[in-house]
Amino acid sequence: MAQGRIDTRRLGRFALRGVASLSMAYLLLPLFFVTWLAFFAQEIPSFPPEGYSFKWFRAIPGNDRFVSGFLLSLEVAAIATVIGLMLGVPAAVGLVRLRFTGREAASNLLLLPLVVPGIVLGIALYVFHVEAELMTELPILGSFGGLIAGHVLIVIPWTVRLVTASLVGMDRSIEEAAQSLGADRLTTFRRVTMPAILPGMVAAAMFGFISSFGNLEMSLFIVGPGRTTLPIAILQYLEWKIDPTIAAVSVLQILFIAAAMLLTDRFVRISRVV
Amino acid sequence: MARLQIDRVTKSYGELKAVDDATLDVANGEFLVLLGPSGCGKTTTLRMVAGFVEPTSGTIRLDGNDVTTLPPWKRNAGLVFQSYALFPHLTVNQNVAFGLEMRKVPAADMPKKVAEALRLVRLDHLGERLPRQLSGGQQQRVALARALVFHPDILLLDEPLSNLDAKLRQDVRVEIRELQRKLGLTTVMVTHDQEEALTMADRLVVMSEGRIRQVGTQHDLYERPADRFVADFVGRSNFIEGRIEAPGKFVSKGGLAIACADGPPGSAVLALRPERVAIVGSGEPADNRFEGRVEFLSYLGAAIDLHVRLSPAERLIVQLPNRPESAAPKIGDAVTLAWSRTTARIFHD
């Protein structure tokens, strides 16, 4: 009997490991092939490779569209993340701390951009920009500000969600302790609440940044002429060529994001927040 | 150090009165304990004194000054929470220094004051640690040092011991009490643990359903409980329901005629402490003697509880000291219970 039970348990463990390995492989396989492809020597990707080369990586710095696309994506994501945090953190505090009618609705509304497909979001914003420009006669359509505003929209769900999670998980009595020790509301927030939700804020910034940096579908609709983000530059390149340059750019993008995650993880254990 | 006066304070949440017309006067240096079951309003009362809850009506005075609507950060009250509530990102020293910082104490004076406060709780060697590196008892003492370092007018303790294990709790009890005496601090503590309340308080306040049931010393509450709730909550009581038929004569529902202190006739409840009922031999005289049978027995170590059936409607718990020289009755034994007429308290509902 006892022997049988141990065997079942061991079997269960094997099964769990098997399923986990399969899922991991499923997730990592595309990354593996993209990375492999980036080093192929021939121009038309085909198997088996005819040789290996670094030339596609060397070609990237010479390609203006990729370089300026990368810089623009970086700029947009950074600005959108900062604004997203400035809006999302107070919103999260309000949602967690205040009791008002429509709180649930407001909370769901702020998470909506995460659920709505990027294409739909893009079209909606495009139509909105057109209408707004007609009404105000301000140059909104295709402007840098319009692009930023759109990206703020995809950062906000991350900031609201992750900061809400850390606020809910925090012991409120430490705020009361600070107040009883002589700290007013603002000082309490600055000295006690902020440090407590900092991991959530850092994680929110990172996820917001990544989803903005990699966003293609929405950006397609709201970028103006000459304002090409990296994902759009990649798409445009793909329309004419299918050489491994794209794979090389993707590898660099993956490395960039991985570096950002590792860096963040040094300050905050990501697994603790997400 | 200051006197705390709570004057006719009520806190309502809609229809519900969390605290209903509470009046208390805590003398300078006194240790007052608010005792009651959860939801009785004791914590709300403490939070009103701390400034986290604003009373619906009534006034709270600290050292003669009306602080009823003053926010917590202007009250100069030291607070210790059940969860300790230490700042997790600050070291022990920084935690203790927080109140001094808020009071703009010069940075040069701070280390000395912090060390002094930590010495009071015997933790001056752990100043550089983070809270999570300390045991529960140590965290609680840091919380105490943090609340004392800025010389508060009043110390407020919200169930400060309930997260500690039983043995440690007894030590910390003594420690808090000695410190409070030494510093002469006016202190209000909230607890639901009657043993904790009885061992620490100068005076106790028993609350239930938002109302103050009785204020008094341990002796007052135990010997002269004001009502049935207090008689039940502080210590234990047997309750016998019935009527006072004539002055000094109580007849229970089960038909026992019991001699008791004088009281107005009508329906009443008799409260009898289990350890004040004796088991006597057949010849000994007493105001009240009743034959009964032991139905249940609990061995408590220092004492033994007997559950004795006196009538179909009445069963009393009798507590006997556990002495090796006198054999305790067994389940099924017939015993004679006795108590004097002044032993029982009478409550009219």
pLDDT tens string A8-53:
888 889 999 999 999 999 999 988 888 888 888 777 777 777 778 7
Residue B109's domain is classified under what CATH number?
3.40.50.300
Is residue A200 within 8 Å of B99, Cβ to Cβ? no
DSSP β-ladder status, B314-321 and B334-339: unpaired
Whether residues B191 and B251 share a domain: the answer is no
The answer, yes or no, to whether the previous bond of A48 is cis (omega within 30 of 0) is yes
For the sheet containing B16-26, what is the strand order? B16-26, B4-13, B57-62, B65-66
Q: Is A131 on the interface with B (CB under 8 A)?
A: no
**A58: enclosing H helix or E strand:** helix A55-59
Which pLDDT band holds residue A105 (cuts at 50, 70, 90)?
A: confident
CB B322 within 8 A of CB B303: yes
Count of pairs with CB atoms under 8 A, one residue in A, one in B: 67
Name the band, by pLDDT with cuts 50, 70 and 90, for residue B170. confident
Gap between the Cα atoms of B348 and B243, Å rounded: 9
What is the number of alpha carbons within 13 Å of residue B136 lying toward its C-beta? 14
Q: Are residues B158 and B307 in the same domain?
A: no
The tokens of B44 are what? 């709300």
Q: What is the CATH number of the domain that holds B261?
A: 2.40.50.140
Between CA B293 and CA B309 the distance in angstroms is 5
pLDDT tier at A274, thresholds 50, 70, 90: low
- Over chain B, what is the mean pLDDT? 92
Give the closest-approach CA distance of A181 to chain B in angstroms: 5
Global pTM reads 0.79
- B223 and B262 in a single domain? The answer is no
Per-residue pLDDT of A47-103, as tens digits, reads 777 778 787 888 788 878 888 888 899 999 999 999 999 999 999 988 888 888 888
Does residue B77 belong to the interface with chain A, where contact is any CB pair within 8 Å? yes
Query: Does A179 sit within 8 Å of B73, measured CB to CB?
Result: yes
| B51 and B34 within one domain | yes
- The last residue of one of the domains, among B207, B230, B253, is B230
- Are B105 and B66 in a shared domain? yes
Residues B172 and B252 in one domain: no
Test B78 with A180 for CB contact under 8 angstroms.
yes
Question: Residue A2: is its pLDDT beyond 70?
Answer: no
Please indicate, yes or no, whether residues B220 and B249 belong to a single structural domain of this protein. Answer: no
Give me the pLDDT at residue A5, please.
Answer: 65
Enter the tokens of residue A60.
């990237």
A178–chain B Cβ distance below 8 A for any pair: yes
Topology of domain A63-273 in CATH is MetI-like fold (1.10.3720)
Q: Does residue B254 share a domain with residue B133? A: no
Quick one: closest CA in A to B83, which residue? A173
HSE-up (13 A, CA, CB side) for residue A74: 10
ipTM: 0.85
Taking CB atoms and an 8 Å limit, are A184 and B73 in contact across chains?
Answer: yes
Pick from B230, B252, B268: which residue ends a domain?
B230
B270 shares a domain with B190: no
Domain count, chain B: 2
DSSP 3-state of B89 = coil
Check residue B57 and give its pLDDT.
95
- CA atoms within 13 Å, Cβ hemisphere of A204: 31
Quick one: B217 and B304 in the same domain? no
C-alpha to C-alpha distance for B339 and B287, rounded to whole angstroms: 6
CB nearest to B50's CB, from A178, A180, A192: A180
Range of the domain at B40: 4-230
Cβ-defined contact of B78 to A173 (cutoff 8 Å)? no
Residues B89 and B151 both lie in one domain: yes
What whole-number distance in Å separates Cα of residue B81 and Cα of residue B117?
Answer: 18
Query: Using alpha carbons only, how large is chain B's radius of gyration in Å?
Result: 25
Q: Which of B230, B261, B292 is the last residue of a domain?
A: B230
Do the Cβ atoms of B77 and A180 come within 8 Å? yes
B240: helix, coil or strand? strand
Give residues with Cβ within 8 angstroms of B329, minimum separation 6. B279, B294, B297, B306, B335
A187 touches chain B (CB under 8 A): yes
Domain positions in chain A? 1-26, 63-273
For residue B118, the model assigns a pLDDT of 93
